[in-house]
Structures are given as C-alpha cells and as structure tokens.
C-alpha cells in the first residue's frame, strides 16, 4: 500500500516546487546582502521547505526552530496558540525571516510574529511557500510568497493530514474518503 494511492491529484511536482524555492532563495539572497539573517522555522510543516530554502540562499545566515500548537482538529486552526518549543537564539539585532509552509487563516503566524517582536529583532519578515489569501482572518501578509493555492487542503512536502503525508516529495490533494476516515 503506497501513500501515492491516497492522492487524488498532484498540484505541484517536486520539480515545480524546486523552481519556486530556488526563486525565493534568489530574492532573499539579494535582499539580505550585508544583513544579519536568521531563518526561523515553525515546526513541523515547514521543515522540508526550510531545508531546501536555506540551501538556495547564498548569503550567510543562521537558523533556528520553534514549535507551537494551535488547538484545533482536522483541517482547521482554532486561533488559540500555545508555545511548545522556544527558539535557542536571542533575537536582538537579527534580521528575522519567518519561514512558513502555508499561510492559511494567518492566526498562527500572527501570534508568533507578535511574540517575537517583543524580543527586539532588527527586522521581521515572512516567507511562505504556499499562500491561501482568501482564507486570511488575521492581519498578516507574506513578504515572500512562493505561490498562491486554492482553498483546498493540500498535503506533502512537509504538510500533513493527521501527521501523515509529510514525506511526499510533491504537493497533492487527498481522495475525499481519506479525509472522512478520521
């Protein structure tokens, strides 16, 4: 039984994602020349994107990870966010770039950004691989956005459904019966 059997349709192939990520890395490298770049990844969904993005950035940078949980089940975020794992690095003076897998309602990242602002970084910007602007509820937008996606629940390349499918190298939508099984 392969994970591929659960996929209804492939939206972005591994090659297409690769091109999108390289393009983001190029833009970021230009903009952060001479800055003090710190990439911050919010676990776990953005870990695959982070790993590829950092290797397409050509200027010096540091990385750090944090983890938050948003209470909510299935395919929606509740907006109530809890810090599970804090960053290791003291943010003072760093040019922070928050690396997100997907900006949906924006509630999670809004919370994270407000919290990190209080720690006096030199700047904060947001880089998201996927953006669902129609779903936005919080006042937040991405400075770097890989590509817009329709209002559908996607999996793969780090994105999960019920903690599965993160290891798919491409982005797809699941067959309807898979979402229903839970």
Question: Per CB under 5 A, which of residues 16..45 are in contact with Mg ion?
Answer: 45
> Which of ligand IMP, Mg ion, none is residue 95 near (CB under 5 to 8 Å by kind)?
none
d(CA 143, CA 170): 24
Question: By CB under 6 A, which span of 4-12, 30-38, 86-94, 152-160 interacts with ligand IMP?
Answer: 152-160
- Per residue, the 3-state secondary structure of 92-123, as one string, reads CCCEEEEEEEEECCCHHHHHHHHHHHCCCCCE
150 C-beta neighbours (distance < 10 Å), count: 10
Please tell me the distance from the alpha carbon of residue 154 to that of residue 166, in angstroms, as a whole number.
Answer: 10
| Active site annotation includes 104 | yes
Comparing CB distances to ligand IMP, the nearer of 34 and 74 is 74
The mark string for 63-82 relative to ligand IMP (x by CB under 6 A, - otherwise) is -------x------x-----
Which stretches of the chain bind ligand IMP, using CB under 6 A?
45, 70, 77, 100-108, 153-155, 159
């Amino acid at each position: 039984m392969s994970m591929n059997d659960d996929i209804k349709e492939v939206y972005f192939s591994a090659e297409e994602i690769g091109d999108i990520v390289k393009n983001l890395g190029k833009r970021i490298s230009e903009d952060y020349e001479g800055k003090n770049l710190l990439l911050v990844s919010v676990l776990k969904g953005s870990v695959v994107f982070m790993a590829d993005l950092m290797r397409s950035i050509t200027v010096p940078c540091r990385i750090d990870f944090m983890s938050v949980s948003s209470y909510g089940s299935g395919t929606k975020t509740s907006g109530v966010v809890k810090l599970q794992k804090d960053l290791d690095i003291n943010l003072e003076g760093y040019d922070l770039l928050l690396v997100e897998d997907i900006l949906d309602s924006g509630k999670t990242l809004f919370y994270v950004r407000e919290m990190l602002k209080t720690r006096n970084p030199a700047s904060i910007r947001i880089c998201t691989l996927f953006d669902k602007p129609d779903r936005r509820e919080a006042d937040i937008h991405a400075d770097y956005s890989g590509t817009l996606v329709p209002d559908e629940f996607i999996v793969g390349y780090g994105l999960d459904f019920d903690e599965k499918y993160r290891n798919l190298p491409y982005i797809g939508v699941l067959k309807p019966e898979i979402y229903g099984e839970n």
